Each structure stands twice: as structure tokens, then as C-alpha cells.
A and B are shown apart, each in its own frame.
Chain A
Amino acid sequence: MSLSRRELLKMGLLAVCGTVIPLSALEILKPEAAASLIRPYSEHKRWAFVVDTTKCVGCGMCVKACKLENEIPFNIDVQRTWVERYVQLKNGDVLIDSPHGARNGYIKNDPQGKEINEAEVAKGIFVPKLCNQCEKPSCVQVCPVGATYKTSDGVVLVDKGWCIGCGYCINNCPYLARFFSPVTNTADKCTFCYHRITKGLNTACMDACAFGARKIGMLNDPNSEVAKIISTERVSVLKPEYGNEPQVFYIGLDAIVR
């Protein structure tokens, strides 16, 4: 069979149009968009967390509970959740610390090991931290083997059998939520106690908190306390400038918090 140039161009054009037009139809009839016409509220499940720093007293029980629940050796200095202490003095100095991730609790007025007279303190804040289960997690983006992934309900997990231990995810997490597990020697992080929340339980840290500083719930569930707080109160997130869209929302953050 021989083709003239004209025929070739004709057939080429037909082939291009033939593929592009049906494909663009897919864009017009996006399944999500079509579904939203029928049901305006999202059925998309999304776990989110609220930390009320005004309620935290720095007892460290959450850190202890997390270590026990998730089998992170107690005496090793890595943790899935930790509490930071920020003390601003009247002279303007800011002292920040988190000794051993606060697993033993803050029992003395000694930020950075310095005894401070109570009269010198302008303000003090405890900030509990954990993995932010970002909407756009940079750790998932950079994992070269796909060992870390986001579940359909928004929690980022690590497949410890597949992780190669390059540490790229650890260096790419703006929150330092990741570390090498001393047990498996692979990347590890907070999972929102995925094994508990998917069974209708609370996270270990939340159950251990006597003051109600930590709350977990579904973002799309209008009856959940988390959804109510996020939609009606003034909340903020940590380091939004990185574009990760963190899903741990804070009440009572301050400019000195890092």
C-alpha cells in the first residue's frame, strides 16, 4: 500500500482528533464533578486532628502512651509524638526545649536546663506535635520506591518491609515527624494510630490526655468535634509555607512556635 503525502496528513489529523475528542469528553464528564451535582456534600473520608495548646500542661503522658502503644523503645530518643515547651521571658528572650521529647513530662521550671524564676516569665506554651498527615505529603513524593503512601482516608503510612532506608523522606519532612525506627531500622512516623482509629477507637495519645488537648475525627463528618472546631473556630497549622497542607490543626499557636 502506498500513501500520498496528502493522504498521510489526512489520516494523521483524523487519528489525532479521534483520540483527543473522546479524551476531552472524559474531562467534561469528570466522575467527581458529576457526583457532586447529585450529592453536594463530600463523602470523601479524611482524618484530621486538633491540638488545643491552651489545654496542654506538658505532663508527657501522650508521649509515654504513644511509645507503649506503638512499641517505640522508651529510652531511645525518637518519638512519633512529642511535646515542645516555649518560654518567653520578660526581657524578650525565648527559650525552647523538648528534652527526650518530653516523655518524662515537664516537672521543673527549667527550660534548656536553666532554672528560671517565675517572676521573669512573660508567657509559656506547650505545643504537642505529631505527624501532620499532610494532604500533599513531601515524604510520599520523594520516596524512591513508593514504600510510603497516603491512604484513601488521608493517613500517611510506611511499608516497613519495602523501605530501603535512604532517609530522603526524613530530610524532606518540614516537621521532623519522621525518624529511623530503632526496631526495624526503617523510616517510621505517627500513623494517627491507624490500627485503632479504623476500629472506632481513639488514638493512644488522645486517650492518655487528661485535659482534652488532643482530638481526632473525620473532616467530612459534620457531627465530629474536629470538623466543628475547624469550621467554626480560629485554627492554624504549622509551617504552611512548605505547601504540604498539614491536617493537624492548632488552637492557640504563637509567633514564637517553630
Chain B
Amino acid sequence: MEEHLAHGALWTIKEGFTYPNEYIYWTIHIVVYPYITGLVAGAFVLSSMYHVFGKEELKPVAKFSLVFSFALLLMATSPLMLHLTQVFNSINMILTPHFYSAIAAFTVVYLTYMAIVLAEIWFVFRPYIVEQAKEKKGLLGLLYNAMTLGSFDVSEKALQTDHKIIKILAAVGIPAAAFLHGYVGFIFGSVKTVPLWKTPLMPFIFLMSAIISGVSGCIVTYIVGMSLKRNFICGASIRSMCKVLVWFLVAAIVLEGIDIIFHAYTAEEFWSIMSELLFQRFAFKMLVVQWLIGMILPLILLLLPRLSMLRAFISATLVLIGVFTMRWDVVIGGQSMSKSLAGFLTYDMPIIPHNMESFLEGPIPITVLLIMPLVLLFIFNKVLPVFTEVFNEEDCGFTEGLLSGKDHAKH
């Protein structure tokens, strides 16, 4: 008979002195959760760059990144559902929210943001939806008719109002997106028993890494999606996204760097075990993958002159890998240091499932979950024009001319 184990014992290897009840309780799902919400926030901020700040060259990706953000948002709760041991009780979050708990605000924050994104998508695609509702017959026609919500007015005046509303929603959405993810950072930053998490910088660190991962996610998905449809990709848009990426990469490097420097300099009680984590146990994951490959190398690649599409694609992919590793290092690394400060817990993910628990905690559900946003995006693209060629070569050339003109004017 298979021996029954304590929750956590299956994937935790203990070394040195750890408390008897100490296991890695937050596992792969909690690694993926901030990763997905980070992508949500980053993608939204990118779309707002066009809608609020009028960055014309980002027009081709503005609609796409908005819908991408929504697809990711739909999947954001699923890692949490996989994580809960009493998933059928999760409704209690809505029935009796205990607002002293940072987690309790999740429903409010999540739904507020969802409402903003949904509303903005509706306004952005409204002219298209109305047009399709009038044109299409049958089931698809019914769907578009339902999506109009009974509003068929696409006169010049109505569209102008729409435009104003979109601008407001996009502007309100930026703090909402920042809050959604900064709040995830707060959930970690406020756990006073985990020294790696407990820093007031945590919300900002999470926010910066969210934006770099979201922008990178958009660059990668957009290039792949447009290439699959054999559409023309405007270099000016990609370069503009890379510029955003560079600025936030610098911010992320500075914030994460300051955090480590402070810990090392103040060298509190936990520093001896934390330095062992940073420089020995997690050295490859943290220093090589998260820092060198995930932040410094892409920054250099992006800053080198004559940025090509391929180089942008590679840099963005590296950032995506780096941010995922960062989430892993924070969530798993934080719990790896025993709260006794005299031992280590190693996370050993159960790869081959042999019962329900090992299946849920294994790589299969989480892989499905990470692919789902792309599947959703594919489905949305069937209904709404996400990957359309907004700029043809002429428009693109014109925008590039404008941009270089601006650059010249600055010099």
C-alpha cells in the first residue's frame, strides 16, 4: 500500500534543521500565477501607450495587446484554483472576504480590472462588431448581434465619443493594471516570515518585471502571429516596443539590484543563509538565467545599434525566460530557506504522476495553463480582427520617417 504523505512532503527534500511541519507549501502554481498576471499588466500598459499617450507607431499592436491581455486575464485565476486544497470552498472568498488579508482583495481587484479591459475591448472593436452584425447571417450573425449589446450607432459623433471613452478607460486601466500586479507583489512582500520576500520594494519589483514580461510577450506573440498569417510587420512598431522594454528593463535591474545590495550590506540574521541561496544553491537560476540571460544580455542586444526583427525577437524571448525564472526564484527560493535559518528545503517537482496530487502538482496542468492564453487568442482572432495589417509598407515607411524626423529634430 502506498504510504500517505503530508501535503508538501512529496516534493520537499529537507536538509539541516527544518521545523517538522515545514514544507514548500507554495509550489509551481504560485510561480505561474504572478507570471500570468505580470503578462496581463504588461500587455495592457503597452496597449495604453497608444491609446493614452498617442504613440502612433504602436497602433498596429494596440488592439492585439489589449486582447492578449484579456486572454491572459481569463487564465489568471486558474493556477490559484489548482493550488487550493479545498477548491470548492473558494466561493468563500466572495461570501466572507476577510479584508485584513491581502489575498481577500483579489476578487475586487481582479473583477475591477476585468471590467475595464472588457469595456475597452468592446469600445475598440465596436465599429467592426456593428459592421459584422449587419453583414453576417446565421449563427455568427447572431453572435455579432449579441456583441453589439443593442448599440448600432456608428455615426461620426458616436465614434468620437467612443474614442474619448477608450482614452479614459485606457488611462484608468494603467493604474488598475499596475495595482493588479503591484498587489501580487504586496501579497509576497508582506509575508513577514520569509526574508527573501519581505521588502517594501516587492510591489515595484514585481511591477517592473511584469511590464518587461508583458511587453516581451507581446513582441514574441505578435511577430509569430503576424508571420503565421504572412502579414507585413512594421519595424517601427517593434522598435518602439523594444524602446519601452529597454526603459523598464533598466528599472527592473536597478530595483532588483538594490534589493540584493541592501540585504548584503545590512547582513541581518538571515543573510548567511540567503547568501548561500543566492551564490550557491540558486546561483545558476538566479545569477546566470535570471540576471545574465534574462536581463543583462537582452539589454545589451537591444542597445546595440541597427536593431533587427530577429534580435528583438531573441531579446524578448530571453526576457520571457528570465522573468519566469525570476518568479521561480522568488517563490521557491523564498521558501527554500528554512525559517529556522539552519536548514534548506529543496523543491523537487513530481514529474511522473502516480496519483491525483502528483498530477496536479506536476508539469502537465501548468503547461496546459500556459498554452491556454494562446489558444484563447487564436479563438478571439476568429471573431475579432486581432492580427490585422494596420500599417502597410507605405504607412510604416511614413511613420518611420516621422520618427526619424523627430529624432533629427531633437538633435
Contacts and interface: CB of A to CB of B under 8 A. Distances in A.
Contacts of A78: 6, 20-21
The bracket for how many chain A residues form the interface is 35 or more
Contact of A164 (B19, B21, B90, B194): B90
Interface in B291-342: 335, 339-342
A221 to B, nearest CB: 30
Contact of A185 (B3, B86, B101): B86
Interface in B96-113: 96-98, 100-104, 106
A164 B93 contact: yes
A164 B86 contact: yes
B103 A77 contact: no
Interface of A: 73, 75-79, 82, 96-98, 100-101, 112, 138, 141-147, 162-168, 170-180, 182, 185-186, 242, 258
Contact of A176 (B5, B16, B21, B97): B21
A144 B97 contact: yes
B152 interface: no
A144 B93 contact: yes
7 shortest A-B CB distances, which residue pairs? Answer: A165-B85, A180-B7, A176-B19, A146-B98, A144-B103, A96-B17, A101-B20
Given A82-B19, A147-B92, 19 more contacts: A78-B6, A82-B21, A138-B193, A141-B100, A141-B101, A145-B98, A145-B104, A164-B85, A167-B25, A171-B335, A172-B192, A172-B193, A174-B193, A176-B21, A176-B339, A178-B21, A179-B21, A180-B7, A182-B6
A143 B193 contact: no
A170 B23 CA distance: 10
Contacts of B341: 258
The secondary structure that dominates the B interface is loop
B368 to A, nearest CB: 22
Contact of A258 (B86, B193, B342): B342
Contacts of B193: 138, 171-174, 242
A100 B25 CA distance: 18
Interface residues of B, number: 45
B386 to A, nearest CB: 34
Given A76-B5, A179-B6, A172 B98 contact: no
B187 to A, nearest CB: 8
Contacts of B23: 179
22 contacts: A77-B5, A77-B6, A78-B6, A98-B17, A98-B20, A141-B101, A142-B100, A144-B101, A164-B85, A164-B89, A165-B84, A165-B87, A167-B26, A171-B25, A171-B191, A174-B192, A175-B19, A179-B7, A179-B8, A182-B7, A186-B85, A258-B342
B90 to A, nearest CB: 5
Contacts, number: 136
B165 interface: no
B84 A166 contact: yes
Contacts of B339: 174, 176
A12 B212 CA distance: 49
A96 B340 contact: yes
Contact of B194 (A162, A171, A179): A171
Interface string B179-215: 0000000000001111000000000000000000000
A185 to B, nearest CB: 5
Nearest to B357: A185
Interface string B333-370: 00100011110000000000000000000000000000
Given A171-B191, A185-B86, A258-B341, A79 B4 contact: no
Nearest to B339: A176
A82 B17 CA distance: 14
A145 B22 CA distance: 23
Given A75-B3, A171-B194, A242-B192, A98 B101 contact: no
